[in-house]
Structure 1
Amino acid sequence: MIRDRGNVKWVSMMLPEHVQQIRVWKHESEEELPNELTEWELEELQQVIQLAYDQKLIVTLKIMVDHNLSHYTGIITDLKASTRELSLEMDTIIRRIPLDAVYRAQLENNYCD
């Protein structure tokens, strides 16, 4: 414990792994939780998902589950309107994602040189 102008410094006693975990935790806690999507945003989201499905484009989905945001990148292989879910084929697995959990969808650049 180091005293510097009345402040207690604990940094010298922390392991680098702890400092890294604190930085990750701080970054995650600062990330703003999404609000309800407007009608325009829902329509845009639907169009991006449909385009990615029809043309088999790589898409990044931001998913909101239990107030936690997750990012998944892959190709949408199946859209089921009856169960309101999609299948996203990633590198090693196929993940089934409820459409209600999708918060953002962004097409990735698929240009080949």
Structure 2
Amino acid sequence: MMKDRGTIKWMPMMLPEHVRMLHDWEQEECCVFPSEKMEWELEELQQMIQQTVGTGSILQFRWWENQSWQEAVGMITAIDRTTHELLLETSLTVKRISFSSIDVVQLVDDYHD
């Protein structure tokens, strides 16, 4: 009976240049600036925010800041209409989020710190 080397012989070989290119491509994909939202999408976000201000509802936000996506879960404590920002109180901090940078807002049903 012949002794086989197992799966080692089937491992793909990649050039270091290819590995670097794949890594660069992954980095570009995660840092893609969001596309402009349609008017109805903006209205949905605005309605969700307006309905939950002052109710103590917990929301999950995703927004674009400092060339990357940021996420946080918390409660809206105030809306500043002059600077077009909202204050999101999380379990650790209070964050200022610009309306124009918000991508997703979702109501969280069961949230535990």
> Who is 1:65 aligned against?
65
- Cα RMSD (Å) of the superposition? 3.3
Paired with 1:56 and 1:31, the residues of 2 have a C-alpha distance of 32
Greater strand share, 1 or 2?
A: 1
Q: TM-score, normalised by structure 2?
A: 0.68
Unaligned runs of 5+ in 2: 1-7, 16-22
1:37-91 Cα offsets, whole Å, 9 max, x none, are 0000000000111112142200011101244111111000010111111100000
Using the aligned pairs only, state the percent identity. 30
Paired with 1:103 and 1:83, the residues of 2 have a C-alpha distance of 18
Cα distance change, pair 9–58 in 1 and its aligned pair in 2 (3 A): same
Q: TM-score, normalised by structure 1?
A: 0.68
> Who is 2:77 aligned against?
77
Paired with 1:94 and 1:33, the residues of 2 have a C-alpha distance of 24
**Matched length:** 96
> Who is 1:18 aligned against?
none
Paired with 1:9 and 1:106, the residues of 2 have a C-alpha distance of 41
